[in-house]
Amino acid sequence: MLNRIIQSSTIVTLLLAAVTLASDGAFAFTLIGAGKAVKGWAGNALELHVNPDNCPGEVDDLMDKAIAIWNEVPTLGILLKRGDDTRTTIDQALAGAASITPTVHCVTSMAAVGLNPAVIPGVATGQQVDSQGHLNYGVLILNAEEGAAANVKTLNEELVVDVIAHEIGHILGLGHSSDTSALMYYDASKRKKASLAQDDVDGITYLYPRDELNGDNPFGGCAVIKGQRGRAAIDATLLALPAFLYLMTRFFQQRRRVRKA
């Protein structure tokens, strides 16, 4: 049953037309975007705003747990937060009229938003990009339809957190992964608990690489890397170091030889 629920949800998500990043098998993750990869959200923080209407009473807790899963990635260059609640309705959000975004909604009629209430517990949709290709809009929908088999209120907490975290992955710009252990794999029944696989970490870090050096030049006085910043500067120094040591060794060897002579 669960298998069917998640499998069917992938049909909707596939409308996002995922594009495979690498064909050599090194990565299994994909990015959303109609034929071309999108960039992640701009900035180093993103708040998701919940409209609590019709949601499970513990929706804040569920959201926080799902958000924490992504925030645990040490290389992630964006901090996810649960922002203030929103009054934006699902209709407004789907019409692209939400003033703050992304928003999270619990809907009581999945058919009204074009989704099958029996098989789809959650979906991410409505993603838009700005002129730079950065994501700047998204809508996360949770199934709260009474009597529906995929109503999140009837599913166990671990699965709902998994569903929300998976959909947040789509909101952030990830498509589905072919790695069956990944959170972004379409079938949640392959996972024992809501957690990230290395492939999810690779995918989200690709979209949101962390600038460990915060833009500062770590070797400010070194002429070799003057003007360079961040990672490139470290690489330049690491590349230059062996050559420097070699030249120093040669220099002292020659001095010793001169003294002996």
Point out which residues bind Zn ion (CB under 5 A).
Answer: 13
The residue among 13 and 151 lying less far from Zn ion, judged by its C-beta, is: 13
First to last CA, the chain: 87
- Closest residue by Cα to residue 172 from 70, 83, 87: 70
Please give the Cα distance from 149 to 129 (Å, whole number).
Answer: 33
In whole angstroms, how close is the CB of 51 to Zn ion at the nearest point? 21
Query: Please, what is the Cα angle at 14 between 188 and 187, to 5 degrees?
Result: 10
Amino acid of residue 206 = Y
In whole angstroms, how close is the CB of 13 to Zn ion at the nearest point? 4
The residue among 115 and 233 lying less far from Zn ion, judged by its C-beta, is: 115
Amino acid of residue 16 = L
Q: In degrees to the nearest 10, what's the CA dihedral of 18, 8, 117, 113?
A: 30
The residue among 13 and 51 lying less far from Zn ion, judged by its C-beta, is: 13
In whole angstroms, how close is the CB of 132 to Zn ion at the nearest point? 25
Please give the Cα distance from 86 to 98 (Å, whole number).
Answer: 9
The residue among 13 and 143 lying less far from Zn ion, judged by its C-beta, is: 13
The residue among 107 and 171 lying less far from Zn ion, judged by its C-beta, is: 171
Q: Phi-psi category of 227—alpha, beta or left, where left has phi over 0 and alpha has psi -120 to 50?
A: left
In whole angstroms, how close is the CB of 166 to Zn ion at the nearest point? 6
In whole angstroms, how close is the CB of 80 to Zn ion at the nearest point? 17
